[in-house]
């Protein structure tokens, strides 16, 4: 495994510290970043950890989301972030740039080689409209966990389900809760560290998911969504902001540029 200049002992410590930050009812706030500069800006505010968003990292380099950013390019960016901050870094690794468990585990090993300590790992079929079968996705998680255990690193696997993100009609989200519970149970058994439910905004449904798993639950925060306090009251243990920060930064630049040009 090719390593960054972050020592193995430091990486293990960061991984353990990151896991400890996930407390139900007292959530870890992750204002998602996309490069070393944004990571440093967030760290300077007192953030205890940083996390990339795949849409933002790709967009900052002129690529669309969906594993279009070349893996080697991503690894360069992640390595630079790790070496620029003193806090744990979790990487949005989408579907792992692979389908089969063996290749997937090899790719996540490369992420570990950067010094990062966690990944988001989604169950959607990247580039398609469907999701992986629960057993297949569980086997993929098992392969990642087995690789990390062999490397001696307590990798934090944030197992993401795209059930709610794929269903645009929020009135139908309640019909998906049963499958969400099946998925979180299977992913937990496979070795996931937490469960990510982007696009779920109903407090009753979020509370239901949190109450039915021992895993920390991660919710994505959008401008028009629930407050952090409301999410904490549901039992959420992690709140991430996804592509929002990058979009806002780009909008600010566009606005300032327009003013400068017309001045």
pLDDT per position as a tens digit, 156-205: 999 999 999 999 999 999 999 999 999 999 999 999 999 999 999 999 99
pLDDT per position as a tens digit, 86-134: 999 999 999 999 999 999 999 999 999 999 999 999 999 998 889 999 9
Q: Are 213 and 195 in contact (CB under 8 A)?
A: yes
- CA dist list (Å): 156 to 14, 60, 121: 10, 25, 10
Query: What are 198's two structure tokens?
Result: 């982007």
- Residue 204 pLDDT: 97
pLDDT per position as a tens digit, 31-75: 999 999 999 999 999 999 999 999 999 999 999 999 999 999 999
- Residue 6 pLDDT: 77
Kindly write down the DSSP assignment for every residue of 16-85, as one continuous string. HHHHHT--TTSPEEE--B-SHHHHHHHHTTT-S-EEB-HHHHHHHTT--TTT-S-HHHHHHHHHHHHTT-
Contacts (Cβ under 8 Å, ≥6 apart) of 195: 158, 159, 160, 161, 183, 184, 187, 188, 209, 213, 215, 216, 217, 218
Q: Which CATH number is associated with domain 8-262?
A: 3.20.20.60
């Amino acid at each position: 495994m090719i390593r960054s200049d972050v020592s193995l002992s430091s990486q293990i410590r960061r991984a353990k510290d990151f896991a400890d930050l996930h407390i139900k009812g007292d959530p870890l706030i992750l204002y998602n970043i996309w490069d070393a500069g944004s990571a440093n800006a967030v760290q300077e505010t007192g953030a205890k950890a940083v996390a990339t968003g795949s849409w933002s990292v790709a967009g900052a380099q002129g690529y669309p989301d969906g594993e279009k950013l070349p893996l080697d390019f991503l690894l360069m960016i992640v390595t630079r972030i790790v070496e620029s901050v003193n806090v744990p870094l979790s990487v949005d690794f989408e579907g792992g740039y692979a389908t089969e468990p063996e290749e997937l585990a090899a790719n996540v090993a490369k992420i570990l080689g950067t010094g990062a300590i966690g990944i988001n790992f989604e169950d959607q079929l990247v580039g398609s409209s469907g999701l992986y079968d629960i057993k297949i996705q569980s086997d993929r998680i098992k392969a990642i966990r087995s690789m990390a255990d062999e490397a001696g690193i307590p990798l934090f696997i944030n197992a993401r389900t795209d059930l709610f993100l794929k269903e645009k009609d929020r009135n139908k989200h309640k019909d998906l809760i049963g499958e969400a519970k099946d998925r979180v149970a299977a992913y937990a058994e496979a070795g996931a560290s937490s469960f990510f439910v982007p696009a779920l905004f109903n407090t009753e449904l979020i509370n239901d998911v949190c109450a039915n798993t021992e895993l920390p639950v991660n919710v994505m925060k959008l401008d028009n969504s629930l407050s952090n306090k409301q999410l904490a009251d549901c039992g959420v243990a992690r709140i991430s902001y996804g592509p929002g920060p990058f979009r806002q930064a780009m909008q600010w630049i566009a606005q300032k540029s327009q003013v400068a040009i017309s001045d």
